[in-house]
């Protein structure tokens, strides 16, 4: 079980993510969108959506820093374990609260605004359940182990994550991790796998190139259109 959860599942999730993205890009670029419902309801969205998105981006940065920056690096910069814990506790909680408040308002909006609710597909509902579960369990795991220096995930979860990158998963590291963290990790993996098969795929179209391209885009007629 340990091997399956922490040695196989991560790679399955990653393969599903990449395969899904490739399939989506090759066969369903037309469906690649966040399918905004702003034309139906704008007032709540204007508050909730930026709150959620900025929150979840901060959460993402927190995860990347926490999981992929080894302790030896932070020690070299003179950041003690306790400082790191407080930073991740307060910073993470602030980002988490922003995210939870945002998504709560978004779900409320989705349920109470009739046209928005009508455009909600089954896929969206599953997505909301997985996303919300991942966020709430992450918050719960963090807050349940908040006292003192907190849970030392940087000595277990983080090295395990990095061991995935070297294709030599050290599954034993995850065996003793508190169960809340374990569930959060599994649901997180499920979320990663689900991204390309849901509207979440829009996270991969961050339009960074907009900053560098000329304002007016000219394009020639597709020669396919006139080919006999």
Partner 1 sequence: MRPMAQLAMVMNLDKCIGCHTCSVTCKQAWTDRQGTEHVWFNNVETRPGQGYPRRYEDQEQWQGGWALNRRGALKLKAGGRFRKLAGIFSDPRLPETEDYDEPWTYDEPWAYGCKSLAGAPAHGGGPDPMIERTRRLAADRVRFEFEQTFMFYLPRICEHCLNPSCVASCPSGAMYKRAEDGIVLVDQDRCRGWRMCVTGCPYKKVYFNHRTGKAEKCTLCSPRLEAGLPTVCSETCVGRLRYLGVVLYDADRVTAAASVPDEHELYAAQLGVFLDPEDPGVRRACAAAGIPYDWVEAARRSPVHALISRYKVALPLHPEYRTMPMVWYIPPLSPVVEALTETGHDGEDAHNLFGAIDTLRIPLEYLAELFTAGDVAPVRASLEKLAAMRSHMRAVNLGEQPDPSVARAVGMRDAEIEEMYRLLAIARYEDRYVIPAAAVSDARRLEESALPDGCGLDHGCSLDYEGGPGMGGDGPSGQDSGGRTHLPLVSVENFHALRHRPTAAEEEET
| Residues at the interface with partner 1 (CB under 8 A) | 27-42, 45-46, 49-50, 52-54, 114-115, 118-119, 121, 123, 202, 205, 207-211, 213, 215-221, 224-228
Q: Which is nearer to partner 1, 37 or 171 (CB)?
A: 37
CB of 227 to partner 1, least distance (A): 8
Copy the structure tokens of residue 108.
Answer: 């409320």
Copy the structure tokens of residue 155.
Answer: 């000595």
CB of 68 to partner 1, least distance (A): 25
CB of 153 to partner 1, least distance (A): 29
CB 137 within 8 A of CB 185: no
CB 157 within 8 A of CB 67: yes
CB of 95 to partner 1, least distance (A): 15
Transcribe 17-85 into DSSP letters: HHHHHHHHHHH-STT-S----TTT--HHHHHHHHHHHHHHHHHHHHHHHHHHS-HHHHHHTT--HHHHH
The answer for residues whose C-beta is within 8 angstroms of residue 69's C-beta and 6 or more apart is none
Q: Which is nearer to partner 1, 31 or 70 (CB)?
A: 31
CB of 181 to partner 1, least distance (A): 29
CB of 209 to partner 1, least distance (A): 7
CA nearest to 74, candidates 88, 93, 95, 94: 88
CB 153 within 8 A of CB 66: yes
Q: Which is nearer to partner 1, 63 or 202 (CB)?
A: 202
Q: Which is nearer to partner 1, 29 or 179 (CB)?
A: 29
d(CA 160, CA 185): 11
Q: Which is nearer to partner 1, 54 or 128 (CB)?
A: 54
Q: Which is nearer to partner 1, 33 or 83 (CB)?
A: 33
């Amino acid at each position: 079980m340990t091997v399956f959860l922490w040695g196989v599942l991560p790679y399955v999730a990653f393969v599903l993510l990449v395969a899904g993205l490739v399939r989506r890009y090759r066969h369903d670029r037309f469906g690649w969108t966040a399918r905004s419902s702003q034309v139906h309801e704008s007032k709540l969205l204007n508050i909730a959506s930026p709150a959620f998105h900025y929150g979840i981006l901060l959460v993402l940065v927190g995860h990347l820093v926490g999981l992929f920056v080894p302790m030896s690096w932070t020690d070299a910069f003179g950041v003690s374990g306790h400082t790191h814990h407080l930073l991740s506790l307060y910073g993470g909680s602030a980002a988490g609260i922003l995210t939870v408040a945002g998504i709560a308002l978004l779900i409320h909006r989705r349920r109470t605004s009739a046209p928005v609710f009508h455009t909600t597909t089954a896929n969206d509902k599953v997505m909301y359940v997985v996303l919300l579960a991942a966020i709430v369990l992450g918050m719960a795991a963090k807050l349940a182990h908040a006292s003192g220096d907190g849970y030392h995930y940087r000595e277990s979860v983080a090295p395990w994550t990095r061991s995935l990158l070297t294709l030599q998963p050290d599954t034993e590291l995850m065996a003793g991790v508190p169960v809340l963290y374990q569930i959060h990790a599994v649901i997180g993996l499920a979320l990663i796998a689900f991204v390309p098969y849901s509207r979440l795929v829009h996270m991969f179209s961050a339009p960074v190139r907009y900053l560098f391209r000329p304002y007016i885009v000219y394009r020639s007629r597709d020669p396919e259109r006139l080919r006999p």
